[in-house]
Chain A
Amino acid sequence: MAYLGALAALFVTALWSQNSFTGLIEREWSLDSFRTLFTVDVYRTIAFRTVGVAALVTVVDAVVAFPIALYMSKVARPGLRRFLLVAVLMPLWASYLVKAYAWRGMFSEGGLVSSVLGVVGLDSPGYGLIATIVTLAYLWLPYMILPIYAGLERLPNSLLEASSDLGGRSGTTIRRVVLPMVFPAVVAGSIFTFSLSLGDYIAVRIVGGTNQLLGNVVYDNVGAANNLPFAAAVATVPVVVMLVYLAAVRRTGAMESI
């Protein structure tokens, strides 16, 4: 209950204002925070960038998670399957910060990424948006693998056999039978990857270079600027985006497979 109260209070705070002279919070109703949010270019850019990064992270995770989930559920033998499940889940519980830090090392000057890319004559992207997307995709990958794996487990093998009896090759079967059936599971996984990316600011600070996402704006306004109303207004953006997203995916039936 206390949590819901805190959440409600947050939205009320978003409607208060900060006295630009004293820096204190005034408990007067005002839409100033939201006006700033929508009219200042920087914040609009950051909002779009955040949603774009979250969407890309989700796509990368779905593309990477599908083959490993397919292998685990339909190809690997039971013993190997259990091993793979643990192998995939273990990093889920390794410290978040340590994982982001590990990627800081990977992308650092003279780090592994630049040595590997150097072999094929490419430069490391260094710290920036690409590093942010890779790191976030890495952090949330298990949240995508698990639902897809669960979805594939529920998919009866007889369907695959029927498809091949009717002359479908593996590629066709995967494209026309497997993918449509696991789509709700992918959407379920995307809820986690998308939501977690929207709110992140630590990974961005660690590998993002000079780029900012919404989370950083919130953090800076709570800490240094002490402008809680504005921070609260910014924080409503991911919540609203999430609610819209959840409403949109309800139709796919993904909610049941979370």
Chain B
Amino acid sequence: MTISRPTRIVLRCLTILILGVIYVPLALVVVNSFNVNKTFAWPPKDFTLEWWKRAAESQGALDALWVSVRVGLAATVIALVLGTMIAFALQRFRFYGREAVSLLVILPIALPGIVTGIALNNAFRTIFGWELGFVTIVIAHATFCIVTVFNNVIARLRRMGSQLEQASADLGASGLTTFRLVTFPLLRSSLLAGALLAFALSFDEIIVTTFTAGAQEQTLPIWIFNNLFRPNQAPIVNVVAAVLITVSVIPVWLAQKLSGDAESMGAGR
């Protein structure tokens, strides 16, 4: 430690200040969801549970939540299957265009969301001539969810090597038995971590969703966005936002426990 004491104190103060700035706006939303007043006026005069009760009865919010959950589950399942397959292909085999494939997997999250969104919108509507709806949202979400599964699985495959699988084959197990009894159990926690992150990613996505959702289907972020500018809905939006802040932490925390390193948390977009 060669950083001098005064510098360290300055750094500590800056860190506390920055963490404060990171958490104050989020805390404010949570506090505001109990605010009697309908606006953001600070400081709140009194607190109430009224908005939470009303939010629980809000049909629009509940419907949107249900759509979000179904989209998230479907996209996660697709991402699990495809992401795992791509990870196996890239890790176990050397083939022409291997680098290109790995770039392609990352591209949907490296480019601005609006480019991904409009590209998919264009493909669905003008190229395939499809109606936008539930299916197109799921496909769009699966496109960028593959990355999180892929990242988690390929990291695990790299660490695990192939000795155990070879040993299993030497002992006479067929490919399927080896996968069922050796490979899959070793991959299980990384698959779960990837799935949790994929679900969280899909649940939160709005930019790509606005371009790929039809008029009928509303995911929760879209519902929030549509109701954001309606003064009457403000308290309910506050409650939904407060719930999301609390809930979004859970899958990330679980995923971090499962994969055992903080790196994978930042791996997805």
- Residues on A close to B: CB < 8 A? 1-7, 9-10, 13, 25, 64, 67-68, 70-72, 74-75, 82, 84-99, 101-106, 108-112, 115, 138, 141-143, 146, 157, 160-161, 163-164, 169-171, 173-174, 195-196, 198-202, 206, 215, 218-219, 222, 228, 231-232, 235, 238-239, 242
Contacts and interface: CB of A to CB of B under 8 A. Distances in A.
Contacts of B200: 93
Interface stretch (B25-33, B157-165, B185-193): B25-33
B15 interface: yes
Contacts of B26: 91, 94, 98-99, 102
A242 B112 contact: yes
A6 B207 contact: no
B268 to A, nearest CB: 9
Given A71-B12, A75-B3, A75-B11, A239 B111 contact: yes
B22 A105 contact: no
A75 B107 CA distance: 36
B120 interface: yes
Given A138-B25, A222-B211, A67 B118 contact: no
A93 B249 contact: yes
A97 B205 CA distance: 9
B25 A67 contact: no
Interface string B1-12: 111101110111
* Pairs A-B, 3 closest by C-beta atoms: A199-B112, A102-B25, A6-B123
Contacts of B107: 3-4, 7
Contacts of B112: 195-196, 198-200, 215, 238-239, 242
Contacts of B19: 68, 84, 87-88
Nearest to A201: B114
Interface in B210-258: 210-211, 221, 224-225, 228, 237, 241, 244-245, 248-249, 251-252, 256
B244 A219 contact: no
| Chain B contact surface mostly | helix
Contact of B40 (A13, A95, A111, A228): A111
Nearest to A196: B112
14 contacts: A67-B11, A67-B18, A71-B8, A88-B22, A89-B266, A98-B26, A99-B25, A101-B241, A102-B25, A105-B25, A163-B2, A215-B112, A219-B210, A228-B122
Contacts of A3: 104, 107-108, 116, 119-120, 143
A142 B266 contact: yes
A69 to B, nearest CB: 9
Nearest to A158: B2
A146 B126 CA distance: 40
B39 interface: yes
Chain B interface bracket (under 10, 10 to 19, 20 to 34, 35 or more): 35 or more
B115 interface: yes
A201 B241 contact: no
Contact of B3 (A5, A110, A160, A232): A160
Interface string B174-200: 000000000000000000000000001
B2 A173 contact: yes
B29 A102 contact: yes
Given A90-B249, A219-B210, A10 B118 contact: yes
A168 to B, nearest CB: 9
Given A68-B15, A112-B42, A75 B266 contact: no
Nearest to B197: A93
B249 A202 contact: no
Contacts of B1: 74-75, 157
A199 B114 contact: yes
Contact of A95 (B11, B114, B221): B221
Interface in B84-120: 104, 107-108, 110-116, 118-120
Contact of B113 (A7, A170, A199, A232): A199
